Structure 1
């Protein structure tokens, strides 16, 4: 199974969106089970788990934050089941975008491609803003503009000269991110039972004082509900993962064995990393922590304003010397890695779109080293959004980008669930038993209904505060709903231009123009070659 098109593949295969993914191009070999899972974990663990989730704590309280992540985690599990069944059946490059175009409508694939590119592109300046916040932990003497320019230059250099080493670096950085996250969980447990310089056994103190819930924008039960809703919105930004597994589907060494394991473990990643971090953040600091509120409100000046991570704030409160500096530095390496990886993904996405005819042709031009230089330049230009923090607080600029990214992610997930409905109907009408699939999604098709309903609800509820406070703001309305309009314009516009036809449920070509047969042949050859070979400890663990 090659990532490059075979002679029998359709012309559309020549430039599939993630044909050049981080792992495939940098490693120049197929990915094993441990590598696929670590890429997925590394892609999911980012700034939000260390810093951004704390922004929702003052709105919902510790219990509200915890409940919200469980609720949205359930919806993301449903989304994962849709991804898993389709991608393991046909592990092709950029599968969820390709499936939307082939099984629903070409215009849907076009709109999903642009939406996915913008999702990646908006996340790069988000990481730049986060980096500035973390640097101000030590000093605020460095101009914001200087930090942004320096980061843009470094990203440009790294994406031009070190592409071949990118996948290897991200593989080991993913291991590092997991260790850092587990270390913070361990810090929470040890300190809450009294293992700190203050000998303070604070336990779940902050769930009682100041309280487990916050009344947000209203009083009573309505206010508490809105507090939880605001935390669910934060969770819809923070929790991700199925798309990262899908991005490397075509590069997996044994996709129909490796990918099901990766998707099955997603629910445990939700519980461990996302729900676990939501619980820990509500334990280590109260929702009315003055340092956190000052940072979020942009009222704090001087060194120390970078202590935006609830973990770092807790370490300072407990007078644990040295550790806050170490953790802050480690989080910065994760932020830098995340931004570099996202820029790489955005660049290759745009390059692939150009080769498909979904973006201007000049974006497909590459240097002698294979770097799509014009696509890189366009992707880098999105970093200029980070300059928003020059005239406003970093926390406010970060909120702008969170709104844009959240909308993009929700559209991606909802579109994938819709695509699954067409896939499910085609299986039923073409007499293909789901019991024969490499991965059989649980409780389908009801799971897909939950995925579509949950994502649609959050898309519409994203601007709830605009309608409840009475303080209408055009800018915030655009941030909350602008990407929906862009998606619809892209979908309808491309449909008019290309005159694409809607694929009625049950009529989709599940062989994808003969690609399924090629994958079946690859699988048979691979299994024959692997007979009798011994597996390492890590391979057995991840299998």
Structure 2
């Protein structure tokens, strides 16, 4: 298949409208349907964070503390989603928030955010395929786990290489499996709480058991904030899909309106059910990754309700969840690398797409990094740990960039005499929303590992906060080299990106 070369731009000061025109006319194809976008956004945050790590959150802060922390992070995600939605409907491009930071804040910030986000997902891809091997150990304990991981990487590569529609369809069905699992869990859980399925109604007795509902005070709640934040990572994928959505002006607002409340409903109600049925003192709540499926809160609740084979079923669901996360990671990092190639921030070869609209060099490059990182988990644990730690806070840095970009976008919109009625979708509660999201994101970043500061464990501090100096190095490098500056509000390029929607018979 002959590849089409997308011309790159020379510097960060070029207008992004050229970039969006290149993407839409000679690059990726708009094949993602509204149902794809909605389910990608919904499934993006339902994973092992809910299925396994939610138990450790209850154990740490008690049922009340866990609910408060997840509700707080949920509110932050709501404002981030609406901020991203406003920008994504106005400028629906593949580069998403890296493009917004470049256009509305400072080209140096867009450069740093783009590479930061690509690195984050390329490394997360390796973590996810490693986890696939661990999950298969449940059924095949004597087979080397790396064989399953390698197989998973090949499958995910082929899904992404086929077409963007194949990615969307795969994500749709895998996300649907997760959603149905949560709904069944909630139904079984509430029947068990009222004694219909177990014979003993627990009601709210575990919410007042010993030190419950709040355990460990504010420090414990803040530590769960970090856990909750990682659980919601992936919701920003909706911004990446905007560049390949059939009708972003309709699909993005619809996805944001529908998905957010469902996510909060799923998380808050699921944690409520777990906390009501399992006391926070139970050692079975201490599992935190996919290898702990046997003591997953979901498995324990299903077993309590008398459902045989609960561990096997939940292991299959967790496998689906991890494969979904790896699939999304491959897609997100590939599109970000492609966008960096288009803007000239990455080698020109990464701006190439094939006849099916797939940026193959970016896909191959991302898969290669994922494979190399995975190989280090087998041959060099220290390097693997270093890479995973380096990407740890990258998702939160992207969230900070989204909040800051939206704050600047809306202020520039007003400063240049525009009216909100011109926006296809506009976020409510401005400027409170993005400012609150910005503050909470920074709090989560700072609170990542406060224990290490208390004990002066500098090695642990370095590993926990490594993403921050890496981002700053990228930012300073670009700023010094291109002599960029904070773009004055009156000079912010607000040229909209119009998407031609083909009417189908």
Per the normalisation by structure 2, the TM-score is: 0.84
Matched, 1:483 2:467: yes
Aligned partner of 2:442 in structure 1 is: 456
> 1:343, 1:379 within 8 Å by CA — same for their partners in 2?
yes
Q: CA deviation at 1:91?
A: 2.6
Give the distance between the partners of 1:347 and 1:267, measured in 2 at CA: 25
Q: Is the CA contact 1:351–1:372 (under 8 Å) kept in the aligned structure 2?
A: no
Partner of 2:12: none
User: For residue 101 of structure 1, what is the aligned residue in structure 2?
Assistant: 102
What's the CA shift for 1:324?
2.9
Q: Kindly tell me: are residues 77 and 382 of structure 1, through their superposed partners in 2, closer, same or farther at Cα, counting changes over 3 Å?
A: same
Alignment of 1:265 onto 2:262: no
Distance 1:391 1:228, change over 3 A: farther
Q: Give the corresponding residue for 2:3.
A: none
- Per the TM alignment, residue 246 of structure 1 is displaced from its structure 2 partner at its CA by 1.7
- Residues 427-450 of structure 1, C-alpha deviations (whole Å, 9 max, x = no match): 222111224422232121122211
Partner residue of 1:379?
367
For the structure 1 residues 94 and 274, does the alpha-carbon distance in structure 2 shift closer, same or farther, using more than 3 Å as the test? farther
- Contact (CA 8 Å) 1:242, 1:263: kept in 2 or not? no
Q: Secondary structure at the match of 2:492?
A: coil
Superposition pairs of residues 1-40 of structure 1, within 5 angstroms: 10-13=17-20, 25=29, 29=31, 31-32=33-34, 34-40=35-41
Partner of 1:343: 330
Deviation at 1:323, TM superposition (A): 3.2
Q: CA deviation at 1:389?
A: 6.8
Q: Which residue of 2 aligns with 1:438?
A: 424
Per-residue CA shift, 1:261-304, capped at 9, x if unaligned?
322334413421232333233234333323343x5599xxxxx9
**SS in structure 1 of the partner of residue 195 of structure 2:** coil
Which whole-Å deviations, capped at 9, do the CAs of 1:61-107 have from their partners, x for residues lacking one? 22211110111112222222322222223333333221211121111
Question: 1:78 maps to which residue?
Answer: 79
Q: 1:189-241 CA distances to partner (integer Å, 9 max, x unpaired)?
A: 12222243x523233333233542565xxxxxxx3211111111111111246
CA-to-aligned-CA distance 1:356-383 (integer Å, 9 cap, x gap): 3222345456778756256424434335
Q: Deviations over 1:483-506 (max 9, x none)?
A: 111111111101222233431134
Match of 1:256 in 2: 249
Provide the secondary structure at the position in 2 that maps to 1:441. Answer: coil
CA distance, structure 2, for counterparts of residue 114 and residue 266 of structure 1:
28
The residue that corresponds to 1:416 in the other structure is 402
Seen in structure 2, the aligned counterparts of structure 1 residues 244 and 330 have a Cα distance that, compared at 3 Å, is same
Any gaps of 5 or more consecutive residues in structure 1? 216-222, 299-303, 534-543
CA RMSD of aligned residues (A): 3.5
Measure the CA separation in 1 of the matches of 2:99 and 2:289: 42
Secondary structure class of the residue paired with 2:174: helix
Distance in 2 (alpha carbons) for counterparts of 1:308 and 1:136: 15
Structure 2 CA distance for partners of 1:124 and 1:279, relative to 1, 3 Å: farther
Question: Are positions 1:472 and 2:457 aligned together?
Answer: yes
Give distance in 2, aligned partners of 1:426 and 1:371. 33
Q: Deviations over 1:26-46 (max 9, x none)?
A: xx63623x3321222122322
Distance 2:147 2:340 in 1: 32
Deviation, 1:405, is 5.3
Change (3 A) 1:122 1:201: farther
Alpha-carbon distance between aligned partners in 2 of 1:424 and 1:497, rounded to the nearest angstrom: 29
The CA distance in 2 between the partners of 1:502 and 1:277, in whole Å, is 43
* 1:59 Cα deviation after fit: 1.6
1:312 is matched with 299
Across the two proteins, how many residue pairs are aligned to each other? 489
Q: Partners in 2 of 1:37 and 1:296 — Cα distance?
A: 28
Of 310, 313, 333, which residue of structure 1 is paired with 2:320? 333
In 1: Cα distance, 2:304 partner to 2:380 partner: 28
* CA deviation after TM superposition for structure 1 residue 242, in Å: 5.0
Q: Does the residue aligned with 2:236 lie in a helix, a strand or coil?
A: helix
Return closer, same or farther for 1:204/1:121 CA change in 2, 3 Å cut-off: farther
* Number of the residue aligned with 1:285: 278
- In the aligned structure 2, how far is the partner of 1:250 from the partner of 1:136? 38
The Cα shift of 1:315 comes to 2.9
Q: Is the 8 A contact 1:16 1:353 kept in 2?
A: no
The CA deviation string for residues 338-361 of structure 1, in whole angstroms up to 9 with x for no partner, is 212322322232233234322234
Q: Is it true that 1:113 corresponds to 2:100 in the alignment?
A: no
Return closer, same or farther for 1:449/1:364 CA change in 2, 3 Å cut-off. closer
CA contact (8 A) 2:92 2:243 kept: yes
**TM-score, length basis structure 1:** 0.79
Check whether the contact 1:210–1:287 (CA below 8 A) recurs between aligned residues.
no
Residues 377 and 250 of structure 1: CA distance in aligned 2, closer, same or farther (over 3 Å): closer
Structure 2 stretches of 5 or more lacking a match?
1-5, 8-14
